[in-house]
């Protein structure tokens, strides 16, 4: 698949990645968006978001139904050709979700991105199993220092509280995961106390 956003109307299109003419990848270097169509990098054939070829000798390419809700793009995929082009249901939550968010009744609590060297299921299991949250000896978070700095890393999950607009508040629907790194050692010697501020979500040393 290849996704693009129209220059003029800003709408998203998702197409089969390979041109039906000569098989060029529409998303590789040389392909580009022109107006509201995607241009093939090989022969400059053009396809709109419905898959119709607006310049070239083929009729169309595969296009996927798209819905964009709160800046998240969803596509409909079905293995059967009978249902491939028409979604069998809609995301009904979207009917009033955008209006509610804009009204201020709902708000974003916190967004954080972290890279973890583990399988996805381990995160899901550990987030609900209290016995799996605890102290463990671990290397530094910075790979270049992993053989130089070691320490004790502790994680703790607390339910019915979370960070909203930078403040720690109590709410039944929230949960907060805190992490603390302490007793850091350089080459196994010396110690630096570490601290974690759950309200700010930052790690510091002193």
How high is the pLDDT of residue 127? 56
Domains defined for the chain, CATH in brackets: 2-64 (2.102.10.10), 120-205 (no CATH)
Confidence band for 103, pLDDT divided at 50, 70 and 90: confident
Confidence band for 162, pLDDT divided at 50, 70 and 90: confident
Residue pLDDT, tens place only, 180-201: 766 666 665 555 444 444 433 3
Rounded to whole angstroms, what are the CA distances from 52 to 46, 57, 74, 130, 186? 8, 11, 20, 53, 62
Per-residue buried b or exposed e for 86-114, using 16+ beta carbons within 10 Å of the residue's own CB: ebeeeeeeeeeeeeeeeeeeeeeeeeeee
**Percent of the chain surpassing pLDDT 70:** 62
- Over the chain, what is the mean pLDDT? 75
Distance (Å, whole) CA 88 – CA 157? 39
Q: Which tokens belong to 86?
A: 């028409």
To which residue do tokens 């109307």 refer?
9
Least confident of 13-22, 50-59, 81-90, 98-107: 98-107
Most confident of 14-28, 87-101, 186-200: 14-28
How high is the pLDDT of residue 100? 76
Residue pLDDT, tens place only, 33-74: 999 999 999 999 999 999 999 998 888 899 999 998 878 899
Distance (Å, whole) CA 96 – CA 117? 38
Q: Which tokens belong to 199?
A: 């309200």
How high is the pLDDT of residue 70? 78
How high is the pLDDT of residue 137? 42
Confidence band for 120, pLDDT divided at 50, 70 and 90: low
pLDDT at 134 over 70: no
More confident residue, 122 or 91: 91
Most confident of 55-59, 90-94, 95-99, 149-153: 55-59
More confident residue, 1 or 120: 1
Distance (Å, whole) CA 41 – CA 70? 31
Distance (Å, whole) CA 173 – CA 161? 8
Dump the DSSP string for 152-181.
EEEEEEEES-EEETTEEE--TT-EEEEEEE
CB contact set of 92 (below 8 Å; sequence gap of 6+): none
């Amino acid at each position: 698949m290849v996704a693009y956003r129209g220059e003029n109307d800003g709408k998203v299109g998702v197409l089969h990645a390979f041109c039906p003419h000569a098989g060029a990848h529409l998303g590789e270097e040389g392909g580009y968006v022109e107006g509201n169509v995607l241009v093939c990098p090989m022969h400059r054939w053009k396809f709109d978001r419905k898959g119709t070829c607006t310049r070239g000798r083929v009729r169309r390419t595969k296009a996927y139904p798209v819905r964009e809700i709160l800046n998240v793009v969803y596509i409909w995929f079905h293995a059967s050709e009978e249902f491939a082009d028409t979604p069998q249901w809609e995301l009904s939550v979207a009917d009033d979700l955008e209006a509610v968010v804009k009204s201020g009744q709902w708000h974003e609590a916190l967004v954080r991105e972290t890279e973890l060297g583990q399988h996805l299921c381990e995160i899901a299991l550990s987030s609900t199993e209290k016995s799996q949250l605890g102290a463990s000896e671990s290397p530094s978070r910075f790979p270049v220092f992993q053989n130089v700095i070691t320490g004790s890393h502790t994680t703790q999950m607390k339910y019915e509280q979370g960070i909203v607009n930078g403040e720690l508040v109590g709410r039944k629907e929230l949960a907060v995961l805190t992490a603390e790194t302490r007793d850091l050692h350089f080459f196994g010697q010396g110690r630096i106390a570490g601290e974690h501020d759950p309200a700010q979500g930052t790690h510091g040393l002193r």
